[in-house]
Amino acid sequence: MTFKFPFRVHTEATTVPYAPITDDVRVNRGFIDLRGRPDLAKEIVEGNESQALRSLLARVAANSPIFTLGCDLGHHTEPTHVPRRRREVAGGYIQIASLDYHRTRTEAYAAFANSMVLALRAQSGENHWKVDFVGKWVNFQFDAEPKGIQPSLWIWFFAAAIDQFAAMQARERLIEAIGDTLVLRSALEPFMIPN
């Protein structure tokens, strides 16, 4: 079992909501607001590739003090000098923010990341997982809601295995474990802001 969990801060802010972006690197279909709308999770194209991701998006949208800002999936082969070592990696990211984003401090995201580490470590078993937590500034520009630059959390996740199929299966298990944590009441405590 391998489990790594670095935490860092990315200082450049992105704007939410955002329109579709297509360039040489990505095809981003734009922001879909799932807050309180788990039925819209089926419209997130990345969910077609991962049942675990689709379930995660719907569960968070249904009843959580956080919401998703974006997600993506991918896979690649990692070069290595030892042919029999794990080479295939399947991964992606999910970005979350507090429903009360304008009142949530950066410390809440760090506390949540710490809770997630404990929960994921307990579930990692023989899997080779890596999860990077990245604090990310967001310029929220929702109509008729508080505007401005506030914190969010990127959760980058990677599962390594000997072949691509095994890596994709390991990624599904990792996304399921992340999804379980994203609705775990004790982990979400930092986002419970009294009115």
Q: Which residue has the higher pLDDT, 192 or 57?
A: 57
Token pair 């607001």 in the structure block, residue: 33
DSSP structural state of residue 5: -
**What separation in angstroms does the CA of 188 have from each of 8, 111, 180, 184?**
20, 9, 11, 6
The helix or strand, by DSSP H or E, that contains position 55, with its residue range, turns out to be helix 51-62
- pLDDT above 60 for 4: no
Q: What is the pLDDT of residues 34-66, one digit of tens each?
A: 999 999 998 888 888 899 999 999 999 998 999
Q: Provide the percentage of residues in the chain whose pLDDT is more than 90.
A: 54
Average pLDDT over residues 148-169: 93
Confidence of residue 179 (pLDDT cuts 50, 70, 90): very high
Q: What is the pLDDT of residues 68-116, one digit of tens each?
A: 999 999 888 877 655 565 588 999 999 999 999 999 999 999 999 989 9
Say what the pLDDT of residue 186 is: 85
The helix or strand, by DSSP H or E, that contains position 23, with its residue range, turns out to be none
pTM of the model: 0.88
The helix or strand, by DSSP H or E, that contains position 194, with its residue range, turns out to be none
Q: What is the Cα–Cα distance from 108 to 119, expressed in whole angstroms?
A: 17
